[in-house]
């Protein structure tokens, strides 16, 4: 008999895989003094005469978090090290990269410990939260690489020369072995090659691009990092489409770069620019940014891209669709960034429509294409359900789901549930309705202030408000531990958006559940949805198969045209490319031949 969705939620919350969720261990050790650290690549250098600046928060977030009041009762999930904003640089206590110059003398500064466990006795790696990752789920995944002289993959982190400080941080993160995308992408990037990488949601792409960048900067003996005047000269640029994702990448990168001497700064819209400018003036090696805020900084001549050696685009297909493409072209092609071939470019996403691949090739030089799993596929770790629900029944149906989920939850608690809707207004109205019906909910969308957005996310992550109603602003990249259930209250119009949305659960080897409400308004999605479910070994309801058989191909402008399950995903393998359509000049100019499903007006809401 088919398992009910409620059972699935309970299973997702209590995975038998040995996840350490809810283990109750909260580390509360205080920061201890440690000897001044000199990063390996800076040893034997004459010390600078600059005195260290007085310690302050070292926060680079730009947003004023003081208004949030006391912590939201702490996480009910215990002490996992990931993405807990309340713990790291936001805390306001001590240290940080405070000297003005950056560069050689920065190694003497005390750096905020992003792991929050300065006591070395606490650094036993016995809990191994991330070793609970179900690697078997990834082992038989097909991998495709194409391009010239592809460096071979590695099986362990020990096989890669990342540098001891970075290796130490990998251990602190409790990453025991590399995920498949890391096994392939890291050696490719370390070999200096450009890369277009596609791997499923939650499979560790962030580390796959961060590790080679940090390692490369550590090894870069001749780098000139000091700001000249008030202009910052980052060596690496990581662009992402949303403020929250940039903040998250910044938090992750700070952990990976801890005590390496590599300084990571974030800049995103909606937060006071002055604070970000001050942080940049203190020196930056890796700048994580959203495109809009970066353009602003470039136009003010406060950032120069002249020294960029590494460029990474996370959610690269989104960054190159019509909403962002003009800004990306401006940043990458019309300012002072070194051209492809001089800089190293890495593009990552879980989805990569062919048209976007073609466009992206403008930014790359003789690159390697890597696909872990089929491009745009979703992981089998997510149990997908589709239910036929008329528009007018959606609220009561959601209510039924939530009630049953609560009844099945641990100690009657509501599991973290992310509900996607189409519009900002719809998000507010559903949130209100849930709250008055006794379900603590909050919302994240582009009409909320940045402070409200951050507060909502924090409240959701902590379990204080276990239901988050969101627009697509939360669809990509966000790594929120313990999201048990994603509900597509309104289905998106593009199957790639569906893949990203459901990918907020079932991450890092853990299982998750996704429920979609389908009705006559979604018939254009039927075929793509049925195919996606089928290839992820999901049960496709007979009624959906009938809709799929009747409908023409929809669900996005981009994909599955060949219908092939695996193979030929690198657009360069298409015959049209070889007939002269591809290569450098792609024929997809700045005006773009691809709309990606977002109107141009969406940009500001996302950035």
- From 114-122, 204-212, 225-233, 325-333, give the range in contact with ligand ATP by CB under 6 A: 204-212
Q: What is the DSSP string of 180-193?
A: HHHHHHHHHHHTT-
Cα separation, 397 vs 53, whole angstroms: 58
Return the DSSP state at 367.
P
CB nearer to ligand ATP: pick between 225 and 507? 507
Strand partners, 143: 372
* Segment (H or E) for 368: strand 368-372
Instruction: Kindly state whether residue 497 participates in binding ligand ATP, applying the rule CB under 6 A.
Output: no
Cα separation, 594 vs 590, whole angstroms: 10
Q: What mask, x for binding ligand ATP by CB under 6 A, covers residues 452 to 481?
A: -------------------------x-x--
- From 173-181, 184-192, 212-220, 558-566, give the range in contact with ligand ATP by CB under 6 A: 173-181
- From 26-34, 118-126, 218-226, 503-511, give the range in contact with ligand ATP by CB under 6 A: 503-511
Among 21, 133, 264, 298, binds ligand ATP (CB under 6 A): 133
Among 205, 354, 385, 572, binds ligand ATP (CB under 6 A): 205
CB nearer to ligand ATP: pick between 84 and 109? 84
Are 113 and 31 a contacting pair, CB within 8 Å? yes
Q: Report long-range pairs for 14-20 (Cβ below 8 Å, ≥24 apart).
A: 14/410, 15/510, 15/511, 17/132, 17/134, 17/509, 17/510, 17/511, 18/132, 19/129, 19/132, 19/510, 20/78, 20/80, 20/127, 20/128, 20/129, 20/132
Instruction: Kindly state whether residue 80 participates in binding ligand ATP, applying the rule CB under 6 A.
Output: no
- From 34-42, 195-203, 323-331, 383-391, give the range in contact with ligand ATP by CB under 6 A: 195-203
Least distance from ligand ATP to the Cβ atom of residue 356, Å: 15
Least distance from ligand ATP to the Cβ atom of residue 507, Å: 5
Instruction: Kindly state whether residue 19 participates in binding ligand ATP, applying the rule CB under 6 A.
Output: no
Are 460 and 468 a contacting pair, CB within 8 Å? yes
- From 143-151, 174-182, 293-301, 592-600, give the range in contact with ligand ATP by CB under 6 A: 174-182
Among 88, 179, 450, 603, binds ligand ATP (CB under 6 A): 179
Instruction: Kindly state whether residue 203 participates in binding ligand ATP, applying the rule CB under 6 A.
Output: yes
**CA triplet 110, 124, 479: central angle to 5 degrees?**
75
CB nearer to ligand ATP: pick between 145 and 203? 203
Token reading at 322: 């019509």
* Segment (H or E) for 574: none
CB nearer to ligand ATP: pick between 256 and 571? 256
Token reading at 118: 């300065």
Among 61, 75, 88, 201, binds ligand ATP (CB under 6 A): 201
- From 23-31, 175-183, 356-364, 459-467, give the range in contact with ligand ATP by CB under 6 A: 175-183
Query: For the chain, how far is it from start to end, CA to CA, in angstroms?
Result: 45
* Segment (H or E) for 498: helix 495-502
Least distance from ligand ATP to the Cβ atom of residue 134, Å: 10
Positions in 295-354 near ligand ATP (CB under 6 A) = 350
Instruction: Kindly state whether residue 508 participates in binding ligand ATP, applying the rule CB under 6 A.
Output: yes
Among 58, 114, 153, 202, binds ligand ATP (CB under 6 A): 202
Instruction: Kindly state whether residue 288 participates in binding ligand ATP, applying the rule CB under 6 A.
Output: no
Least distance from ligand ATP to the Cβ atom of residue 503, Å: 5
Q: What is the DSSP string of 134-201?
A: -THHHHT--EEEESSSPPPP-SSGGGS---HHHHHHHHHTT--S--HHHHHHHHHHHTT--EEEEE-T
Are 77 and 481 a contacting pair, CB within 8 Å? yes
Residue 468 to residues 7, 230, 421, Cα–Cα distance (Å): 21, 40, 11
Least distance from ligand ATP to the Cβ atom of residue 175, Å: 4
**Binding positions for ligand ATP, rule: CB under 6 A:** 82, 130, 133, 175, 178-179, 182, 199, 201-207, 350, 477, 479, 503, 507-508
């Amino acid at each position: 008999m088919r398992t009910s969705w409620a059972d699935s939620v309970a299973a997702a919350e209590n995975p038998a895989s040995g996840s350490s969720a809810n283990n109750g261990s909260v580390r509360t050790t205080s920061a201890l003094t440690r000897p001044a650290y000199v990063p390996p690549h800076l040893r034997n250098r004459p010390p600078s005469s600059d005195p260290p600046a007085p310690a302050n928060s070292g926060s680079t977030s730009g947003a004023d978090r003081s208004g949030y009041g006391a912590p939201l009762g702490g996480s009910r999930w215990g002490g996992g090290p990931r993405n807990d904003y309340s713990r790291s640089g936001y805390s306001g206590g001590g240290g940080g990269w405070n000297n003005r110059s950056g560069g050689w003398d920065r190694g003497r500064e005390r750096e905020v410990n992003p792991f929050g466990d300065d006591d070395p006795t606490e650094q036993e790696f016995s809990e191994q939260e991330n070793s609970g990752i179900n690697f078997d789920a990834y082992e038989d995944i097909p991998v495709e690489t194409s391009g010239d002289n592809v460096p071979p993959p590695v099986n362990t982190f020990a096989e890669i020369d990342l540098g001891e400080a970075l290796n130490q941080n990998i251990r602190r993160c409790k990453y025991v072995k590399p995920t498949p995308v890391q096994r392939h992408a890291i050696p490719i990037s370390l070999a200096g090659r450009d890369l277009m990488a596609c791997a499923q949601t939650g499979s560790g792409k962030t580390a796959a691009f961060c590790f080679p960048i940090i390692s490369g900067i550590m090894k870069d003996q001749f780098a000139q990092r000091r700001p000249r005047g008030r202009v910052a000269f980052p060596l690496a640029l990581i662009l992402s489409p949303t403020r929250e994702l940039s903040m998250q990448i910044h938090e992750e990168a700070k952990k990976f770069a801890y005590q390496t001497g590599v300084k990571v700064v974030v800049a995103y819209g909606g937060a006071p620019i002055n604070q970000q400018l001050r942080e940049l003036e203190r020196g930056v090696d890796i700048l994580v940014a959203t495109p809009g805020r970066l353009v602003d900084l470039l136009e003010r001549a406060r950032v120069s891209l002249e020294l960029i050696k590494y460029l990474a685009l996370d959610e690269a297909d989104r960054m190159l669709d019509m909403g962002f493409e003009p800004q990306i072209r401006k940043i990458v092609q019309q300012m002072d960034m070194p051209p492809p071939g001089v800089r190293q470019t890495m593009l990552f996403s879980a989805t990569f429509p062919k048209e976007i691949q073609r466009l992206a090739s403008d930014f790359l030089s003789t690159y390697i294409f890597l696909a872990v799993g089929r491009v745009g596929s979703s992981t089998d770790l997510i149990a997908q359900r589709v239910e036929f629900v008329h528009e007018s029944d959606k609220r009561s149906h959601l209510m039924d789901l939530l009630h049953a989920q609560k009844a099945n939850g641990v100690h009657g608690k509501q599991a973290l549930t992310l509900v996607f809707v189409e519009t900002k207004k719809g998000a507010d109205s559903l949130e209100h309705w849930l709250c008055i019906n006794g379900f603590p909910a909050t919302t994240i969308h582009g009409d909320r202030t940045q402070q409200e957005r951050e507060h909502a996310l924090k409240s959701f992550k902590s379990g204080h408000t276990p239901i988050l109603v969101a627009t697509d602003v939360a669809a990509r990249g966000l790594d929120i531990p313990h999201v048990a259930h994603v509900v597509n209250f309104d289905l998106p119009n593009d199957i790639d958006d569906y893949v990203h949305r459901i990918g907020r659960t079932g991450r890092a080897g853990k299982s998750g559940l996704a429920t979609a409400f389908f009705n006559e308004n979604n018939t254009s999605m039927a075929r793509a949805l049925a195919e996606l479910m089928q290839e992820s070994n999901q049960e496709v309801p007979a009624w959906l198969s009938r809709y799929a058989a009747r409908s023409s191909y929809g669900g996005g402008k981009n994909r599955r045209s060949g219908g092939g399950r695996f193979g030929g995903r690198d657009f360069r393998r298409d015959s049209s490319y070889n007939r002269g359509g591809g290569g450098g000049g792609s024929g997809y100019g700045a005006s773009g031949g691809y709309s990606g499903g977002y109107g141009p007006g969406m940009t500001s809401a996302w950035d």
